[in-house]
Amino acid sequence: MKFNDHGTQNQPFTDSITSAHADDTMRDGIPKKYWVFRNLVSIAQILIVLGGLFGAVSWVLADNNGARLWHNYFSFSQGVSAWANSELRMPWDPSGSDSQAEMSEDDASDASWFSMCNLGTQAVFEAQTTNVTAVVCQDSDGALTFIASGPDDAWAELPAEDRGDYWAATDGTVTYGLGESGLSVIDNATNEYTYNESLEASIRHEAE
């Protein structure tokens, strides 16, 4: 056994090399490879979350998807509220509310259609064809907006004008016409009807 000048036992050379190598590959008693893997996983998770958030925001801002989603949600919530008011009775009110229970189907559909108007506006005319629900909304300044919802998430929301017996709105390519006689779409280039259908139901409201 060999001792150094200080009287302590010499550490074998191989032991010192092994110890130094272990220190280089460890961090806080855990292999450094673990920390590298952990950091890579964390970065990947952050990128996935940011990518999903970017995709969701892009979808909401594109093609009126956000407005359509809000209108659909609001319409659904109004329908649930109308159903709850007419069908459910509170334990402390076993007799229920006869006035609420007698809500007609027209009232329920009216609530659903009205939800298509943006906040701060009111419906002045609402109509339903076989495939399309349309409404003309008016704000406090009297400005009119034509909104229509059709199959396959089709959606139109355009400034409108009152032409007496009907309302008209155009996007430059086609002109929509909505009135008691029906809903029509005219191609501005050919001045021919591309859609013309009579109404199955309609409601006219007096502007407040």
Identify the burial level of 22 via C-beta atoms within 10 angstroms of its C-beta, where 0-12 means exposed, 13-18 middle and 19 or more buried. Answer: exposed
Per-residue pLDDT at 167: 95
Q: What angle do CA 170, 129, 204 make, to 5 degrees?
A: 75
Question: Are 115 and 71 spatial neighbours (Cβ–Cβ below 8 Å)?
Answer: yes
State CA 199 to chain mean position distance.
29
What lies within 8 Å, CB to CB, of 200 at 6+ separation is 128, 129, 130
Instruction: For the chain, 208 residues long, give each residue's pLDDT as a single digit of tens.
Output: 554 555 555 555 455 545 555 556 777 778 888 889 999 999 999 999 999 999 999 988 888 788 888 877 877 777 777 777 767 776 766 554 444 334 344 444 444 444 578 777 888 898 888 888 899 999 888 999 999 888 877 788 899 999 988 999 999 999 999 999 899 999 999 999 999 999 888 888 876 5
Helices (H), the chain: 13-25, 32-61, 65-87, 98-101, 105-114
Per-residue pLDDT at 47: 95
What are the two backbone dihedrals, phi and then psi, of residue 13, each rounded to the nearest 5 degrees? Answer: -60, -40
Q: What is the pTM of this model?
A: 0.49
Distance from C-alpha of 172 to C-alpha of 158, rounded to nearest angstrom: 11
